Structure 1
C-alpha cells in the first residue's frame, strides 16, 4: 500500500483541479479509469486501485498494488509524490 499526504493552501475548486491533473497523469501513464465521488477521486484497473481524497488543507492518496505491480511500488510512489508536490504546492 502506498500512502502519500500532500499539504496545500488551495481553495476547494483549485484543489479539485490540481487533483484532476494528478488523475489525468495516472490515467495516461497507467491506463487507469478515474471517477469522482464527492471529494474522493477513485481510480482502478486490474492490479491497481486507489483513492485521492481532498481535505481542507491536504490531499491524501492511497494506492493498493496487486502482486504484479508490487515490484514497481517505489517508482510509482516517487512519480506520484512528485506530481502531487508540483500541483498542490507550486513553488
Structure 2
C-alpha cells in the first residue's frame, strides 16, 4: 500500500507528458538522489524510482500523472512535506507546459 498517492489531470497529450516525466525523473535523480527508470508504452509510460527509504511508481498517460510512493520507516515522519513538495513541483511543471505559468 502506498504512503503517498498523487494524481494530476492534464490536457498535454502523451508526447508532451512523456517529455515532462523524463524531465521530472532527471531533476529528481539530481536533487533527491533517486534512481529512476523510464519505460515507454503505446498509451502510457511508467517511471519507477527508488533510493534508501523511498520507492515509487509514476504512471504517465495523455491525460494524467499518477504517483504512488512507499516510504520507509524513517521517511514516514516527512510524509506531509513530501506530499506538499510533490504537489507543488509536479503541478508547477504541468502548469508551465500548459502555458498557465
State TM-score, norm by structure 1: 0.90
- Paired positions, count: 91
Structure 2 portions without partners, runs of 5+: none
Structure 1 portions without partners, runs of 5+: none
Aligned counterparts, 1:1-91, within 5 A:
1-38=3-40, 39-90=45-96, 91=100
Larger Rg, first or second structure (1 or 2): 2
Point out 4+ residue stretches in structure 1 off by more than 4 angstroms.
none
* Distance in structure 2 (CA, Å) of the matches to 1:50 and 1:89: 23
Question: Aligned-pair RMSD on alpha carbons?
Answer: 1.3
State TM-score, norm by structure 2: 0.82
